[in-house]
Each structure stands twice: as structure tokens, then as C-alpha cells.
Amino acid sequence: MKNIINHIKTLIILCVLLLVGTAVFANGLQPKREFRGAWIQCVNGQFTGMGTRQMQETLAYQLDKLRECGVNAVIFQVRPECDALYESPYEPWSRFLTGRQGKAPYPYWDPLAWMVEQCHKRGMELHAWINPYRAKTKGTAELAKSHIAIKHPELVFAYDGQLILNPGIPENRDYICKVVADIVARYDIDGLHMDDYFYPYPAAGQSIPDVKEFVAYNNGIKDRDDWRRYNVNVFVKQLYETIHSVKPWVKFGVSPFGIYRNKKSDPNIGSMTNGLQNYDDLYADVLMWLGNGWVDYCVPQLYWEIGHKAADYETLIKWWNRYAYNRHLYIGEDVVRTVKSPDLRNRNINQLPAKRKLHAEMGNVNGTVLWYAKAVVDNVGNYASLMKNVYWKYPAFSPVMPYIDGKAPKKVRKMKYLFVDGKLVLFWKAPRGKGWKNEAVKYVVYRFTEGEDINIEDPSKIVAVTKDEFYEIPDGAIPPGVKVNYVVTALDRLSNESKPQKKSFKY
């Protein structure tokens, strides 16, 4: 009886959330342009020692579920500790893949190459996620002989059970950029992503052992904190330039800790918070990177709830919205924390509706990245159900980045209907255009019934996003005697959309 009552309570809460969410959606708050990402991490051990087939099946299942929820970009962890979940000429295979660092997967496969193919097949972007400086996590007991900390121990320092590539040594900047240039050159990724680990998070009673490097490489900077920020700034700029020199269309994104500075540290631009600070504690001057255009998108990790005493979510989303600096701003969301935190005005529901409302009100917030993918896939607190049925009910494309490329490809050509094995199929040809700025990489198919305006800004009319140059019309999609207009547009690598091309059909 108790289980039945709990089940009824869950259904009631879900219905309330659906009603609240539907009201928000009814106000026209679902955009067609929105970055909808999810982090797939490996350091939690979810794939360790799985084996090739099981890991592929697990990832394919996660990707399918994420796509159902409206996710259009996956941020996949490929380099957690100077290792690789891909075939690297510089770093050993990750223990988070095979259970032992340096051990190749068997049967052999390349997870990054596979993920690029699988994401693109589903119309999703793939961003390769690296940790730049961390060389060993606390849980790693053995490093491979080819690992940089074994080959060049002078390049790392120990801190709180970890090994860190010393940001104060210029050679390390060059090394990380070499590794990234290799990833960008060999894999058809859409973005290169870094998380929040720059200088290590402070640990009580420990200090960063970089006095020698400060003396050798201070460049006339007298304050060691300023010098540490300088080291990270130079690295971020160098990495941005490296990525775009190899492939100009690959987006560079950073996901910093959620607080830049507290107001007590900086009365002018600090936030009304009281927590760890990027600028002071991690030596990450994120606002400098944004202001100078050294990153293409920023995803501050706002993992707290609305009303949190030290780091209120509402305070922080408004702060980051104010300091977006004409770069894309996406919000890093903690799925579990969101659904476990009650709404401040109605404690019978969780904070998802309130957070989505804040997103819609922020003029510079261009999207969301969900922490983490498995929580979404498992539908913790009905989070996935709400995203699928309300907030991300219809497809969306990444916002355009005119600072990289703002020109759309030409229209698709030679649209026609053909019957193939009894199925009606719409075919088209790629638009003419050479070079990455003019080539189409995927297509959007819209459906309009007779009498409807051809409005491609309405995402509810999207029926497919595909790499193929054809679309199979589902049975019943064209009722007898009714003229239906199918419209196809082309998207380039930066999601610039061509003008529509229309083709009608009537049985």
C-alpha cells in the first residue's frame, strides 16, 4: 500500500511539473537556436574494463536517450590525466578505458573516432573534452612507462595525491598544444573542451611547489599569484590559436568553476557569493579570456541550487549573463541537485521549472550543458521526461558564431520524390560550394501542410536533422488528397542555415 501511495505522489508531482513546464513553453520560450549539451565522463569509472562491445552498446544507448531528450551536443572526456581514450602518438591508453594505463582496448577500437561517427549520425555535435594539466588523479596507482610524468618527472609536481603538469614551465604549454593539435587534425570533432582544473584546487596545509619556476620564468612579474594567472592566460591564448590554426571551425570551449570572484575580494565586479574563486584560487582569469576572444564558448559550472547560502544559482546566472563579453554563454547544470532541491515558492516541485525560467530571461544565455549524461539517461527525478516532453520537445541547433563564420551555405539542389521499395523518399543534392565555410555538413527537413506558412523559424515543424541527402517519408505523413510541403535547408559546420528549398507532394 505504501508503494502505491508513493507512486501516486510521484505521478502527481510529475503532472504538476508538466503543467508548469507547459505554461513556460506556451509562452514561446523554446528557441530554435540553443546549445543543448551533456557531459559524458570517464573518471567516474563507468566504462573501466567494460570491453569494446559492452562500452559501445552502453554509449549508443546513452546517445539515443540523450537525443530523445533534445541534446544536440555531447562533450566526451578523452584525456583525464595525460592519457587517452583515443589512439594517441604521444600519450598512453587510459586506465579509465581498459583498467590499466597503457593497455590497448581489445578487441581494438578508437572510442573518440567511434563517438564522432555515432554523434554525427544522430545529428549531434561531438566536443572532445580534455583536462589540460592533471597528470595523475588520486586513484591512479600505476603510470605507464610512456606517460609524461615517468619520462619527464621534472615537468610535474605532486599535490594532494595528484600529479600536475607545472603551468609555470613553458615547455608544458607547448606539449599540451601539441597533443590538442593532433586531436584536432586527425578527428572530425566539432569542439575542443576544457574543464575547470587549471592550477589545482586548494588543499589544506599544502602549497604549490613552484618557487624555482617562478625565479626562472617570472618575466619580470613580481607577484607570484599574478605570475600564475599569466601562465594560464598565455596557455589559453596559445591553445585557442593552435586549435583555429589547424581547423578554424573547431570551437574552443572552457567550463570554469561557477564563481569568478566574490564581492568581498572585488567590490566592483565580484558576485554576492562566498566560495572558491577562479581568479584567486585557481589562477584562472576567465573574464580576460572572454574579453580578449580567446575562447568561443564558456560553460560556468553553476551546480548549486537557487537559494544556496554561499553560491546562489540565481545570483550567479545573472552575474555570468552580465559578463558574457559577446562570447557564447552556456550554463553547466547539475541534474541530480536540480531535481532534489525543492522550489522555494512551491516545495512540492523541484527547481527545474524555476531554473528554465531563469534561462529564458537571460539575454546572453545561449544554452545548457548537463552534468552529467548518465543522470539524464537514468531519468533521475523525471528530469529527462520533462526535457523531452516540454523544454526540449522540438529540435534546436547550436547558436551561430559569426566571430568564426557567419555566412550560410547555398540552397540544396535538385529535390525530387521517388518511390524506393514501396516507400516514398525525398532526395536532394548538396549545395554548390567549396571550402569549409561553404560546404553543407547536414540537412534539416521541415514539414508543412497545405495552407501553412513556410516558417522555418518554427522548430515544431522539423521532422529530421540528417547527414544524408534523402529522407524517407513515414507512412501516413501525407494523407490522401492533402498537399504537403517538405522543405530542406543546409547547415554548415557552424550551423549557419541556408535558405529553404521546397517540394510539394499530394497523393
CA 388: distance to chain centroid? 18
Contact 250, 184 (CB under 8 A): yes
Beta bridge partners of 76: 40, 128
Question: How many whole angstroms separate alpha carbon 423 and alpha carbon 185?
Answer: 40
295 grid coordinates: 575562447
Long-range (24+ apart) CB contacts under 8 A made by 45-52 are 45/96, 46/374, 47/96, 47/97, 48/95, 48/96, 48/97, 48/98, 48/99, 49/98, 49/99, 51/106, 52/105, 52/106, 52/107, 52/108, 52/109
Whole-number pLDDT of residue 29:
53
**Strand 423-429 to 470-472 pairing:** antiparallel
Q: Average pLDDT for consecutive 10-residue bins of the chain (507 residues)? A: 47 46 50 97 94 97 98 98 98 97 97 98 96 97 98 98 98 98 98 96 97 97 98 98 98 98 98 98 98 98 98 98 97 98 96 97 98 97 97 96 97 98 97 94 96 95 96 96 97 97 96
pLDDT, residue 374, reads: 96
Quote the pTM value.
Answer: 0.94
Q: What is the pLDDT of residue 98?
A: 95
**pLDDT at site 49:** 86
CB of 294 within 8 A of CB of 192?
no
Give pLDDT, residue 30: 82
Provide the 8-state DSSP code for 99.
Answer: S
Q: Which three cell numbers stand for residue 353?
A: 521549472
- Cβ atoms of residues 374 and 66 within 8 Å: no
- CA angle in degrees (0–180, nearest 5) for 458-460-461: 80
Position 403 scores a pLDDT of 96
Q: Assign residue 438 a region: left if phi > 0, alpha if psi is -120 to 50, beta otherwise?
A: alpha
Contacts of residue 25, Cβ cutoff 8 Å, sequence gap at least 6: 390, 391, 393
Side chain identity at 318, as an amino acid letter? K
